[in-house]
């Protein structure tokens, strides 16, 4: 039996085998087989539903200097902004009116947003919109901070691990950052009862199938409810400005593999995928993705939250164009759901 069939039957493989699986997924036969199984599982747990989240990028100040990221501290050209609590709330108000029931607050690691200020923002959103889920994506914080924010009402937390390989992590981050701390944060978040999202950039500089194999092993260990998997895209004022972008094709193969590895996972067709390929989102759904996160940030700030070059923030990426997005999702054969969309616990029907 080939490696692909072995993986489908028993997704728990070792590092060498995962690397072999990735190699085997290069053939069109291999990719199609993985896709087919990924779709079977996504339909089993989620039917044809695609969940939608409103993304509010509320600050692009960041104290970190990740080599890939356009809002890194060292990028003096970035025009910095931060939203007030009132501005965040009016994004939610607009989003709620459009039908959004999940708000994702994402930002750089901005020390201005102390635990107290973040708590206040989360509390106010939950008070006004108790039927909505609040997701935070604000980087590494202390256990105590995560505890307070959970207590304030935050339901979910996105913190991509970026790479599970120590050596690779050091190629992407300055010496003061550490993979072990990032992983520790993810375990703390899980312990506190958040629905947790980890994930990676596909094709980040120095990444090979061996690193990706470690990512798969880490995801299997962590068992996150969500996984953010998008291609790396260079940003013109970062140390990685001349590096090639990650491949859409490999991103799609990984989406299928992760759907098989973690059948109940919430898997977004990311903005980076849509940026690299005009049909990226549709291809993402066809590979196993079941979430989209259009942008609810104030229009004047969207350009400033520039993680990478040409990041999409209009058309189907813009929350106010929800009707467009709905049409596109439906044309691709899926149904856009405005429900809060927690991770599945059981298959939709006995089988
Ligand atoms: N500060 C938060 C949010 C980071 S931005 C945190 O640390 O989690 C969200 C994600 O964008 C990052 O986790 C990273 O995976 C992705 N990202 C950053 N720069 C990118 C680039 N150049 N190309 C593609 N994705 C990028």
Q: How many CB atoms lie within 10 A of CB 36?
A: 12
The predicted model gives 314-342 an average pLDDT of 91
Question: Contact at 8 Å (CB) between 318 and 283?
Answer: no
Domain range for 209:
47-337
Kindly state whether residue 234 falls inside one of the protein's structural domains. yes
| Domain annotation covers residue 350 | no
- Give the pLDDT band of residue 317 (cuts 50, 70, 90): confident
Q: Would 294 be classed as within a structural domain? A: yes
Instruction: Look at residue 254 and tell me if it is in a domain.
Output: yes
Q: With a 6 A CB cut-off, is 307 part of the ligand 1 pocket?
A: yes
User: How far is ligand 1, taken at its centre, from the CA of residue 7, in Å?
Assistant: 29
For residue 302, is it within any domain? yes
Question: Is 58 touching ligand 1 by the criterion CB < 6 Å?
Answer: no
Query: Contact at 8 Å (CB) between 19 and 7?
Result: no
In this structure, is residue 32 part of a structural domain?
A: no
Closest residue by Cα to atom 25, ligand 1, is: 232
The pLDDT of residue 351 is above 50 = no
- For ligand 1, whether the C-beta of 282 sits within 6 Å is no
Concatenating the DSSP letter of every residue in 14-71 gives -HHHHHHHHHHTTSHHHHHHHHHHHHHHHHHHHTTEEEE-EEEEEE---S---TT-TT
- Count of structural domains within the chain: 1
Q: How far is the CA of 107 from the centre of ligand 1 (A)?
A: 9
Residues in the chain: 351
In angstroms, the CA 343 to CA 130 distance is 18
Question: Looking at the domain assignment, is residue 36 inside a domain?
Answer: no
Smallest Cα–Cα separation from 57: which of 319, 342, 325, 324?
Answer: 319
240-276 tens-digit pLDDT: 999 999 999 999 999 999 999 999 999 999 999 999 9
CA–CA gap between residue 138 and residue 345 (Å, rounded)? 26
Q: How far apart (Å, rounded) are the C-alpha atoms in residues 47 and 347?
A: 9
- Atom index in ligand 1 nearest the CA of residue 231 equals 24
Closest ligand 1 atom to 199 CA: 15
CATH number at residue 307: 3.20.20.70
22 occurs within a structural domain: no
Task: Take residue 145 and report the two structure tokens written for it.
Answer: 């901070």
The chain-wide mean pLDDT, for the chain, equals 96
Average pLDDT over residues 323-334: 95
Minimum CA distance residue for ligand 1 atom 12: 160
Q: Which of 178, 201, 309, 311 to mutate to test the pocket of ligand 1 (most atoms within 8 A of CB)?
A: 201
Kindly give the distance from the C-alpha atom of residue 195 to the centroid of ligand 1, in angstroms, as a whole number: 19
Alpha-helical segments (H) within the chain: 3-9, 15-24, 28-46, 85-98, 115-128, 143-151, 166-172, 179-191, 209-222, 248-261, 271-276, 280-287, 299-302, 322-331
pLDDT tops 80 at residue 1 = no
């Amino acid at each position: 039996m080939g490696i692909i069939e072995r993986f489908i039957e028993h997704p728990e493989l070792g590092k060498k085998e995962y690397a072999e699986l990735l190699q085997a997924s290069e053939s069109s036969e291999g990719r199609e087989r993985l896709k087919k199984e990924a779709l079977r599982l996504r339909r089993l747990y989620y039917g044809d539903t695609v969940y939608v989240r409103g993304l509010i990028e509320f600050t692009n100040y960041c104290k970190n200097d990740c080599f890939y990221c356009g809002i890194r501290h060292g990028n003096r050209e970035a025009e910095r902004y931060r939203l007030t609590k009132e501005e965040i709330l009016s994004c939610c108000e607009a989003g709620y009116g459009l039908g959004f029931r999940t708000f994702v607050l994402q930002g750089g690691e901005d020390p201005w947003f102390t635990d107290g200020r973040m708590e206040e923002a989360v509390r106010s959103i939950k008070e006004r919109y108790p039927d909505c889920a609040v997701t935070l994506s604000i980087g590494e914080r202390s256990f105590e901070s995560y505890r307070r924010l959970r207590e304030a009402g935050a339901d979910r937390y996105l913190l991509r691990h970026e790479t599970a390989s120590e050596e690779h992590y050091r190629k992407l981050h300055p010496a003061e950052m550490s993979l072990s701390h990032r992983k520790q944060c993810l375990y703390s978040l899980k312990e506190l009862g958040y629905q947790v999202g980890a994930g990676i950039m596909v094709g980040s500089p120095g990444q090979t199938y061996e690193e990706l194999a470690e990512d798969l092993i880490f995801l299997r260990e962590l068992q996150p409810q969500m996984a953010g998997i998008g291609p790396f895209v260079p940003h013109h004022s970062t140390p990685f400005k001349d590096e090639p972008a990650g491949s859409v094709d490999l991103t799609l193969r990984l989406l299928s593999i992760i759907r098989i590895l973690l059948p109940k996972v919430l898997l977004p067709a990311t903005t980076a995928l849509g940026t690299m390929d005009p049909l990226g989102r549709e291809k993402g759904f066809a590979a196993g993705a079941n979430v989209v996160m259009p942008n609810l940030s104030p229009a004047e700030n969207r350009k400033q939250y520039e993680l990478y070059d040409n990041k999409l923030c209009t058309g189907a990426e813009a929350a106010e164009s929800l009707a467009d997005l709905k049409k596109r999702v439906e044309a691709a054969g899926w149904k856009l759901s405005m429900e809060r969309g927690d991770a599945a616990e059981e298959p939709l029907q006995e089988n």
